[in-house]
């Protein structure tokens, strides 16, 4: 038995606890935002299909074609099912593009709101931080 061996393990205790509201905000950002972004992309495409604007119709027709997969994809069992499933979804390219745009926009908006709330609700210094020293320098005279 060595002189420095310790057989008792110390329990690690966090110096502070995370408030449950911050976990709720994380849940919203990870689960709810992608669902809302997909729904927004779907609704925007439905609205855009009804518009008579030629640029919008050209954009939708450009992205309306199904994905083109290489021939070897159809010989792999599970990839074959996935490729056939994705080719059956109408306007998938446009939905994915708008989904990514909405996802970035909604996540950015929630991050800004989160930062403003966090700045107002949480004290400037955590329990382990030390405030900046208050040093008043004296004027140098010779």
φ, ψ (nearest 5 deg) of residue 51? -75, 155
Close Cβ partners of 137 (under 8 Å, ≥ 6 residues apart): none
Q: Each residue of 120-140: pLDDT tens digit?
A: 877 777 767 777 778 877 787
Assign 2 a pLDDT band (cuts: 50, 70, 90): low
Rg (CA), the chain: 28
Assign 35 a pLDDT band (cuts: 50, 70, 90): very high
Contact 37, 99 (CB under 8 A): yes
What is the residue-averaged pLDDT of the chain?
84
Q: Each residue of 58-114: pLDDT tens digit?
A: 888 888 888 888 999 889 999 999 999 988 888 889 999 999 999 999 999 988 988
What tokens does 4 get? Answer: 């420095």
Assign 7 a pLDDT band (cuts: 50, 70, 90): low
d(CA 65, CA 104): 24
d(CA 78, CA 110): 37
Is 52 a residue whose pLDDT tops 70?
yes
Is 38 a residue whose pLDDT tops 90?
yes
> What DSSP line would sit under 43-55, residue for residue?
HHHHHHHH---HH
d(CA 118, CA 29): 15
**48 exposure class (CB count in 10 Å sphere: 0-12, 13-18, 19+):** middle
How much is the pLDDT for 3?
A: 67
């Amino acid at each position: 038995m060595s002189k420095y061996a310790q057989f008792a393990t110390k329990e690690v205790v966090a110096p502070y606890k995370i408030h449950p509201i911050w976990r709720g905000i994380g849940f919203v950002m990870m689960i709810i935002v992608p669902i809302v972004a997909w729904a927004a992309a779907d609704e925007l495409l439905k609205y855009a299909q009804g518009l008579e604007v030629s640029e919008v119709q050209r954009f939708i027709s450009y992205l309306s074609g199904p994905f083109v997969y290489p021939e070897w994809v159809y010989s792999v069992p599970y990839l074959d099912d996935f490729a056939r499933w994705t080719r059956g979804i109408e306007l998938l390219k446009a939905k994915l593009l708008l989904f990514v745009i909405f996802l970035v926009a909604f996540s950015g908006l929630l991050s800004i709101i989160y930062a403003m709330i966090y700045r107002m609700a949480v004290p400037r210094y955590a329990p382990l931080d030390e405030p900046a020293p208050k040093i008043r320098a004296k004027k140098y005279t010779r």
